[in-house]
Chains A and B, each alone.
Chain A
Amino acid sequence: AQTVTQSQPEMSVQEAETVTLSCTYDTSESDYYLFWYKQPPSRQMILVIRQEAYKQQNATENRFSVNFQKAAKSFSLKISDSQLGDAAMYFCAYRSRYGNKLVFGAGTILRVKS
């Protein structure tokens, strides 16, 4: 079974600075998808960024980018120019390309200081 590990329960960043959230995963599959989801307090979970395992190029979405290291099974999220609205719980998630289960890590609380 696949597992996702987020080793940072909590992170803090100063507004306008850069922060990196870590994620590792364990799988025997070669084809899969990785996601970072954001869950603001009492609000809906939304997708931040997605990476297909067969793509070597790291995904980017505006201020959000990932460092995908397939061999190391590592998938970190970098948030540049942090904003107060980035404060949330961030979940790393895994989905097999040929399955439907979405497996989440334990989450990292990100606090943004003004």
Chain B
Amino acid sequence: DAMVIQNPRYQVTQFGKPVTLSCSQTLNHNVMYWYQQKSSQAPKLLFHYYDKDFNNEADTPDNFQSRRPNTSFCFLDIRSPGLGDAAMYLCATSSAGRDLNTEAFFGQGTRLTVV
């Protein structure tokens, strides 16, 4: 019973060609995160949504955008992928304001290759 689902699992895109990664959740969590993880490194937070409030990290390149049309879905748009954007992209969800669900639940990730 997958709770955080990322599609696709593997994505190959051409240098400079816009690409969108998607994430959906069945947990009804109000917080959704996008992380970039390069090989054997810590996940790096790109941005997160608290409900519809978008919170961008200061060092996230403008090339990365996000949309959250409703509670269940969140998208990561890379406007002009460069070779340095090849990575695993992780989506996660959590609840804010309720102590019982402080942990984040992760999807399986989308591995992006830029050719």
Contacts and interface: CB of A to CB of B under 8 A. Distances in A.
B70 interface: no
Given A100-B31, A102-B92, A33 B102 contact: yes
Contacts of A35: 103-104
Interface string B18-56: 000000000000010100000011110100101000010
B42 A105 contact: yes
Contact of A45 (B45, B55, B94, B106): B106
A50 B45 contact: no
Interface residues of B, number: 22
B40 A89 contact: yes
A95 B92 CA distance: 14
Interface string B64-108: 000000000000000000000000001010101001001110111
A107 B41 contact: yes
Interface of A: 33, 35, 43-47, 50, 52, 89, 91, 93, 95, 97, 100-107, 109
21 contacts: A33-B102, A43-B108, A44-B106, A45-B43, A45-B90, A46-B106, A47-B104, A50-B102, A52-B102, A95-B102, A95-B104, A97-B99, A100-B31, A100-B48, A102-B45, A102-B94, A102-B104, A104-B43, A106-B42, A107-B42, A109-B40
